[in-house]
Chain A
Amino acid sequence: MTHSVSEGAGDALLARRQQWMKVLAGAGSRLTEYSDDLRRTEHRFIRPAEVGMVMVRGRTGACGTPFNLGEMTVTRCVVQLVDGRHGHGYVAGRSTLHAELAALADAHLQGDRHGHWMTSLIEPLQREQEARRAAKEAASAATKVEFVTMVRGEDE
């Protein structure tokens, strides 16, 4: 029983971390505004930002076998803060600056000042990303075409 409880807590932590990693990965150049704050704590790079390729795999339908969709460029970085905490940054594209800042933010978010970083960094960025997404969806929804089948009266 205790096992399942601790597992549940781990899952919740994982889900929260996935959420902020997603926001950081989508933040792009918006993170540079926080650069000074993020770099204020003493840190060193365990894995300096490096650019590489990952294979993106896709699946058609629920029972389709996976296929290789194509390769994409990914930049990754791992940082260690002075207290030993690690942060990982994985972002699409070739921006080493973005990967470094995402890694630093991830490290800070796992620490004592989690709340501070959530309210000052993640939540504003997340609201922005959601607003942008909603605007895009609204713009494309306006061009939606409704297909209507006319009654052809064959049954009569």
Chain B
Amino acid sequence: MSQAALLKPAFTDTVHDAQQVFRRALSALSEPGLVQRVEGAPAMDRLSPATYALCLCLLDGDTPVWLSPALDTPELLANLVFHCGCPIVSAPEQAAFALLAGNEPIELSPFNPGTDRDPDLSCTVLLQLDDLDGGQTTTWQGPGINGTRAMRLPLPEAFWSQRAAHGFPKGLDFFITAADSFVGVPRSTRVIHVMQEVF
């Protein structure tokens, strides 16, 4: 009974809401760094509306999910299992999707980057931040970006170097979210640190 009492409604119009979020997720990965918004999605416990909407859209019975300790609450667990039917794994190596929060140390090495033969088996990371702006300037290049794009995600340099540890086509794809917005960072995007000029 106590487990059941944690459940909350998800999308109001399951099919159309999920389709719209999926379209935005495609756009996010095809134009890395372009901010996408989800409208009318509910928040869930510690998950922001954008993170929860991506979860409801992308997770199902075939996608083992790993939750970082900061997000691993009974309420979130009950609702993900009920609405998505996704198995929750305790080993990050087995995860097809990982849910991380930006306010805790981020360790990307355990996640599966796929293999050279099957790069599609890699883990997709949903990383939730407080804001998509306000960090050090980074320059993004790659498919879907006309020239370069300057981004100021509040992430440490160590995060970007961990992300670049795998040789293409292996690698991790990211959705980085804050409140009702998110950006996509596919493995094909090169992120270059701009040295801050010291005056």
Size class of the contact patch on chain B: 10 to 19
Q: Would you call A48 and B8 a contact (CB within 8 A)?
A: no
B7 interfacial contact with A, CB 8 Å: yes
Cβ < 8 Å to A, chain B residues 12-49: 12, 14
Size class of the contact patch on chain A: 10 to 19
- Nearest CB in chain B: distance from A46 CB, A: 5
* Residues of A contacting B12 in the complex (Cβ-Cβ under 8 angstroms): 48
- Chain A interface main SS type: strand
Q: Would you call A80 and B14 a contact (CB within 8 A)?
A: no
- Mask of A18-55 contacts with B, CB within 8 angstroms, 1/0: 00000000000000000000000000111110100000
- Chain B interface main SS type: loop
* Residues of A contacting B105 in the complex (Cβ-Cβ under 8 angstroms): none
Q: Would you call B14 and A46 a contact (CB within 8 A)?
A: no
A78 to B10, CA, bound (A): 12
A85 to B4, CA, bound (A): 8
A100 to B47, CA, bound (A): 29
Q: Which of B1, B82, B83 meets A84, CB within 8 Å? A: B1
A50 to B7, CA, bound (A): 17
* Residues of A contacting B1 in the complex (Cβ-Cβ under 8 angstroms): 84-85
A48 to B83, CA, bound (A): 11
Q: Would you call A84 and B4 a contact (CB within 8 A)?
A: yes
B147 interfacial contact with A, CB 8 Å: no
* Residues of B contacting A45 in the complex (Cβ-Cβ under 8 angstroms): 9
Residues of B within 8 A of A (CB): 1, 4-5, 7-10, 12, 14, 82-83
